[in-house]
Structure 1
Amino acid sequence: MNTLLSLHNQIFERVERLDGLLPLLARFLFAAILVPYFWASATTKLGDGLLGFLFPSSGAYAQIFPKAFEAASYNTDNLGVFHWAVVVAGTWTEFLLPLLIVVGLATRLAALGMIGFVTVQSLTDLYGHGGIAHEGTLGAWFDRAPDALILDQRALWIFLLVVLVIKGAGLLSVDRALFRLSPMSPARA
């Protein structure tokens, strides 16, 4: 029995030394699974022309402010500067935060920002778009069905982002390179 325990400890002590691979894998999975989703969503919010990133499409207002846009008779001119600023910031956020996570720059802050974004997105889907009225949208935990849009899928997204908040960017990241160059780095002391 002691031999088995010793073998177990030897193997998993080596595995624990691969600590930098966990956040690298989390960033890879984020890039492979969620970046295309967020960027496709962001492109639907861009307006026409070269300055489309400053003048969002009407669909952007419908996605982010569904009830306010309906109350404004689906006319963006009837909405204020606040609505425009939130839609523009939300669009930029869908492009920039995933990019920061993929390259590993300001990863912990970008992951925190994405957690906030996913939370607001989920609440908008539930209450703004009426998803709360459809049992399958919210879903339930411990129900044998792993595909509910909010509780199942978005919980996994947030867990992936929490790994990055706790562990940082890991290997092969701009954060790691900058940290090594920092005068505060333990390697330079």
Structure 2
Amino acid sequence: MTDPTAPLDRLSPLLPVLARFVFAAVLLVYFWSSGLTKLGEGALGFLSPSIGAYAQIFPNSFEAVGYDASRLSLLQWAVTVAGTWAEFLLPMLVVLGLLTRMSALGMIGFIVVQSLTDLFGHGGIDQPETLGAWFDRMPDGVILDQRALWVFLLVVLVTRGGGALSLDRLIFRNAAAVRPADQRPRREAQQRR
């Protein structure tokens, strides 16, 4: 007896492409808009974060120094700059399907840090509507509900890669074609095991 759902297995290669599309449709503009609020003024604004960037990323520390960014540490500046760049670069890499597994893993880490900052830095842990709850009738809690779905979407990309319509497929398939002939059989034998 054959499985009536077996033809659906042929759609499996489209899952990563669909995941990247949904990420672009739902989260790309969210992250880029958030990143724009963190850029400083002028051409070097990507190296000189805005006051809002420090307030978003290090709310307690920034308040403790009287909202004077010059009194923050070099490490806090570096984390703020890296976080700002990550909000632009990681989503772009995910959408393009370039270094997809690493980019999606980086996005998961970003979302975890973002969520912890929202909970403990901005007081969301004390706000039930922000924290949310699983297995309740309300699916709109920002942290436990929405971000769990974001992470799950990214886990699909970590486990499956960028899919058929990705720069990974284009670049790395071509890289395999130019690999020296003596390395191909050994790698193919390892993949068969």
Give the drift of 1:139. Answer: 1.1
Establish whether residue 20 from structure 1 lines up as the match of residue 13 from structure 2: yes
| 1:68 matched residue in structure 2 | 61
Give me the whole-angstrom Cα distance separating, in 2, the residues matched to 1:15 and 1:179. Answer: 27
Residue 37 of structure 2 aligns with an amino acid whose one-letter code is: T
Give me the TM-score of the superposition, normalised by structure 1.
Answer: 0.92
| 1:155 matched residue in structure 2 | 148
The counterpart of 1:41, out of the listed 26, 34, 37, is 34
Give the drift of 1:88. Answer: 0.3
Report the secondary structure of 2:164's partner residue: coil
Give the drift of 1:179. Answer: 2.4
| 2:73 matched residue in structure 1 | 80
Give the drift of 1:64. Answer: 0.1
Establish whether residue 109 from structure 1 lines up as the match of residue 102 from structure 2: yes
Query: 1:7-48: CA deviations, max 9, x gaps?
Result: xx2x42221122211000000000010000000000000000
Moved more, 36-45 or 136-145: 136-145
> After superposition, where does 1:87-166 map in structure 2 within 5 Å?
87-166=80-159
The counterpart of 1:174, out of the listed 152, 157, 167, is 167
Give me the whole-angstrom Cα distance separating, in 1, the residues matched to 2:147 and 2:132. Answer: 11
Query: 1:75-95: CA deviations, max 9, x gaps?
Result: 001111111100000000000
Percent of aligned pairs with the same amino acid? 63
Give me the whole-angstrom Cα distance separating, in 2, the residues matched to 1:83 and 1:30. Answer: 29
Report the secondary structure of 1:124's partner residue: helix
Give me the whole-angstrom Cα distance separating, in 1, the residues matched to 2:37 and 2:167. Answer: 29
The counterpart of 1:56, out of the listed 49, 61, 67, is 49
Q: What is the root-mean-square deviation in Å for CA atoms of aligned residues?
A: 1.4
Report the secondary structure of 1:141's partner residue: coil
Give the aligned length: 180
Report the secondary structure of 2:165's partner residue: coil
Report the secondary structure of 2:5's partner residue: helix
Gaps of 5+ in 1: none
Give the drift of 1:182. Answer: 2.2
Query: 1:134-153: CA deviations, max 9, x gaps?
Result: 11111110111000000000
Residue 126 of structure 1 aligns with an amino acid whose one-letter code is: L
Residue 142 of structure 2 aligns with an amino acid whose one-letter code is: L
